[in-house]
Structure 1
Amino acid sequence: MAILARPSVFRLTGLHHHDPIPRIAPLAITALTATTALGEGLAAQRDALCARRSGLRRNDLDFGHGPLDCWIGRVAGLEESPLPGALAAWESRNHRLAWRALHQDGFAEAAAAAVARHGARRVAVVMGTSTSSIGETELAYPRLEDGHFPAAQRALRVHSLHALGEFVQQLTGARGPCMTVATACSSSAKVFAHAARLLQAGLADAVIVGGVDTLCGSVIYGFNALQLVSRQPCRPFDAARDGLSLGEAGGFALLEREPEGARALAWLCGYGESSDAHHMSAPHPEGLGARLAIRDALARAGLSADRIGYLNLHGTATPANDRVEARAVAALFPDSLHASSTKGWTGHTLGAAGIVESVFAVLALREGELPGTLNSTELDPACGPQVRLDNVRRQVDYAMNNAFGFGGNNCTLVFARA
């Protein structure tokens, strides 16, 4: 199932729409959770962000070639945590993390309550991932038998990108529309936009959104082949940054039009999407796609840029990405904006980055603790004054999250304090 956004066009002299972007009705976020290298659940994320305690560690994962010399944001204990026996056909590292994340902060119970409240066919599932359970597929290929996977691997229901969406649908009992978004690092930000359209179109009354991505050989060695992996903890927006640190994470949110029987934790009030298609792995040098996504999100939220109090930047610590994003932010926002990258805490969690950093944006709204940028000490002179290194305590009403993926696939979200 595919739902297409309103088309947009680019010109080098600026950004132009075919039609005005309409304001959307805010959607209630009635449940929320995340599990990362910082720990399980919202409290673990909040405590680590406030204490400026990173979850990055030296890479100790060996996918057959010896551990690559780098730092990673690994979720501890997944290796010793198989799925319950009844779910053996879904066995994979990705689904182990999905299972663990789903059972934090009462999210599984909230999802069950939404199914009971609206009816199973009125609750949709939209998941984001970059590689899904490809780690299990990697294990199967060296063991081919006459050109086929061994029987044990053939029995697994994990060898497709949509496996995550089907797995979460089975766990939650939701039976409405189900889809998996795989647009690299913007995947689990775009799930919010898809959910908004499903609710606006009347195809669902509640949507379980989220994203899960885990470390595997394709991820670590693929990014290393692109010369994007740093040998030290990543330093977003630092003058000496030299690459990213990869991580894994899982997170979920429950969106509803009206929080019947549940209190809103925050509101989704805007989203913007674009695809500049400039290059497979590099952003447009002028940040045109990023700027379009940000402007569309503000338009749908009915807000001017000076109303945003906190912006969680994509900020991967790669030289080109950070430079382009900082340029786009400086062009659109006042100097007073507090903007930061939180990837120094978690690593770049790829297809899960959108949901994790949306959780961080909501935590900033709820807690009044605006994260800085961990590990970085000297900002790149190309950055504007919006990029901050230190945490601050400040109550803000609106927070934004940027997520930019390969192929210039961009998504920006705006959240409002409940």
Structure 2
Amino acid sequence: MTPGSLYLSALGIVSALGSGIDESRTTLFGDRPADMIARDGFLPDRATILGTVTHDPEPLPENLARHDTRNNRLLWAATRQIETNITNLIADIGRDRIGVIMGTSTSGIEEGTSDYEAALDGGAFPETFLYSHQEIGSPADFLRDAFDLGGPSYAISTACSSSAKAFAAGARLISAGLCDAVLVGGVDSLCRLTVRGFDALQSVSSGICNPMSINRDGINIGEGAAIFILRRDANPGVDAIELLGVGESSDAHHPNAPHPDGRGAAMAMQNALANAKLTPADIAYINLHGTATPLNDGMEARAVCDVLGATVPASSTKPMTGHTLGAAGAIEAAMLWLSLCDAANGAPLPRHIWDGATDPEIPDINLETKPGSKLAPADRLAMMSNSFAFGGSNVSVILGRGWNRGDRA
């Protein structure tokens, strides 16, 4: 990003936390239970716990029926929450100056799987089969068509870092003068392909995932969507949430395992701090990638200690959402956004849910385990979220409020 401030002016969200800001906030910081549900049919031999959107999302409008998949229905459920903001934005700056960047890893693969099964059984694809449903770009194409937008529109698919990278890509479009605003976010829906794929890697937990515990045994897959409006704003107001910085790295250590020392993770965090022109001491909380897999948790704790120190409050929220894969970066950035909205009254912190059994092989970091914990009231605050993916694709995102470029290092 070049000098100048970028703001996240609206949020739509749906996940196992619930639908919309209010339900998500109550689950994340309050007493509403997350929709982590044992479900049959995704693994051939047993039920597995999945972060589930429990209400059936509405079909797409008739004029958008060609985009109709569960993935796009979830995205539409989140987008409808900020539809007025988007239409006002169009009236303000015009359709051609608004871009779309979405992160995803599943797209419409589940519909494609079902249609292929029908073809094998009956000798022909169903009339509803469209190959384009499976294309990674489908969510971005859908949103572009839904609002008739003329700016650049594309999807990013780098596994679990996909929608975190959308923030960096959106910032670049604005900084390059190609857009005045970008719809950024991510979406992923539950499908048999990904659940069985992670099970084949022996990475699926036998219960609710248990990040940072010596007893951790893998992830829960989840689904959901989060979408923001990213834009410059000459008069953002004191409550505006700013995209302070994004850091990316690629350590390419292994196709599906992170570097054990957390080198790529640490580099992404350092790059985010440099991009934001902040110091480690400026970070008040970090949302961990925290997948509860043996390799990820160890390397991430080392990276956090190396870059931010062992005292920064930290938590993994995946026991409340599942790992939403390509949508995880956006959904977890939304958690920072929700917390920062209350900074003046004391930003609430998502709690770290685990069994409390420490692993002597993992550095001791400051896990925020108490329900109802808050930071001290502050006019200026910055928070970080980590997303790490297959192949060593690493992203750290920093959001904040109350900052300006002159305040930074």
Q: Do they superpose with TM above 0.5?
A: yes
Q: Which residue in the other structure is 2:152 paired with?
A: 177
Quote how far apart the aligned CAs of 1:336 are. 2.9
1:344 aligns with 2:319: yes
Number of residue pairs matched?
Answer: 393
- Maintained 8 Å contact 2:36/2:321: no
Range with bigger deviation, 362-371 or 286-295? 362-371
Q: Which residue in the other structure is 2:370 paired with?
A: 390
- Maintained 8 Å contact 1:54/1:346: no
Flag the 1:40–1:171 CA change in 2: closer, same or farther, 3 A: same
Q: Distance in 2 between matches of 1:43 and 1:329?
A: 30
- Maintained 8 Å contact 1:124/1:207: yes
| Matching residue within 49, 52, 56 for 1:74 | 52
| Matching residue within 18, 25, 29 for 2:4 | 25
| Matching residue within 34, 43, 60 for 1:55 | 34
SS class of match (1:309): strand
Flag the 1:133–1:416 CA change in 2: closer, same or farther, 3 A: same
| Matching residue within 348, 354, 367 for 1:369 | 348
- Maintained 8 Å contact 2:239/2:401: no
Q: Distance in 1 between matches of 2:312 and 2:319?
A: 20
Q: Which residue in the other structure is 1:411 paired with?
A: 395
| Matching residue within 77, 85, 93 for 2:62 | 85
Q: What are the superposed Cα offsets for residues 80-126 of structure 1, whole Å, 9 maximum, x if unpaired?
A: 7333333222221111111111112xx11111111221111100000
Quote how far apart the aligned CAs of 1:24 are. 4.3
1:310 aligns with 2:285: yes
Q: TM-score, normalised by structure 1?
A: 0.89
Range with bigger deviation, 370-379 or 92-101? 370-379
Q: Which residue in the other structure is 1:3 paired with?
A: none
- Maintained 8 Å contact 1:89/1:156: no
Q: Which residue in the other structure is 1:98 paired with?
A: 75
- Root mean square deviation, CA, Å: 2.2
Q: TM-score, normalised by structure 2?
A: 0.90
Quote how far apart the aligned CAs of 1:151 are. 4.8
- Maintained 8 Å contact 2:301/2:365: no
- Maintained 8 Å contact 2:212/2:359: yes
Q: Which residue in the other structure is 1:6 paired with?
A: none
- Maintained 8 Å contact 2:119/2:126: no
SS class of match (1:137): helix
Q: Distance in 2 between matches of 1:32 and 1:226?
A: 34
Q: Which residue in the other structure is 1:323 paired with?
A: 298
1:250 aligns with 2:250: no
In the alignment, residue 206 of structure 2 is paired with which amino acid? R
Flag the 1:229–1:205 CA change in 2: closer, same or farther, 3 A: same
Q: Which residue in the other structure is 2:405 paired with?
A: none
- Maintained 8 Å contact 1:26/1:270: no
- Maintained 8 Å contact 1:376/1:389: no
Q: Distance in 1 between matches of 2:238 and 2:173?
A: 21
Q: Distance in 2 between matches of 1:383 and 1:56?
A: 31
Matches within 5 A, 1:102-251: 102-104=79-81, 107-144=82-119, 150-155=125-130, 157-251=132-226
Flag the 1:259–1:349 CA change in 2: closer, same or farther, 3 A: farther
What are the ranges of 5 or more consecutive residues in structure 1 without an aligned counterpart?
Answer: 1-21
- Maintained 8 Å contact 2:118/2:126: no
In the alignment, residue 242 of structure 1 is paired with which amino acid? D
Quote how far apart the aligned CAs of 1:230 are. 0.7
Q: Which residue in the other structure is 1:19 paired with?
A: none
What are the ranges of 5 or more consecutive residues in structure 2 without an aligned counterpart?
Answer: 403-409
Q: What are the superposed Cα offsets for residues 388-410 of structure 1, whole Å, 9 maximum, x if unpaired?
A: 32242114600011011111101
Quote how far apart the aligned CAs of 1:161 are. 0.5
Q: Identity percentage over the alignment?
A: 39
